[in-house]
Amino acid sequence: GKIIKTRSATTETLRKLGFLVHDSNTNFVLARHPGISAETMERALRERGILVRRFAKNPRISDHLRITIGTDEDMSALCRELEDILKGL
């Protein structure tokens, strides 16, 4: 119940920020932003203390971030940082 609600809210917010987010039934989402590379986004998040995964060696998803669903607070912080990162580009 809880993770589904948090995942849905996070997916909706990411999409509003311009991310393409694959539908998910798991505890993570795969997302990419058409205007910024996954590598750049991963690095910017890491500099802000937020860790996401990127599968650089898998060509099918190398441009995606794997975002594990955490608490509502975690996901709100992630989305705030992503919004800030996108504003700076």
What pLDDT tens digit does each residue of the chain (89 aa) get?
A: 899 999 999 999 999 999 999 999 999 999 999 999 999 999 999 999 999 999 999 999 999 999 999 999 999 999 999 999 999 98
**Which pLDDT value is given to residue 22?**
96
What would the DSSP string read from start to end of 2-45?
Answer: HHHHHHHHHHHHHHHTT-EE---SSSEEEEEBTTB-HHHHHHHH
pTM of this prediction?
0.94
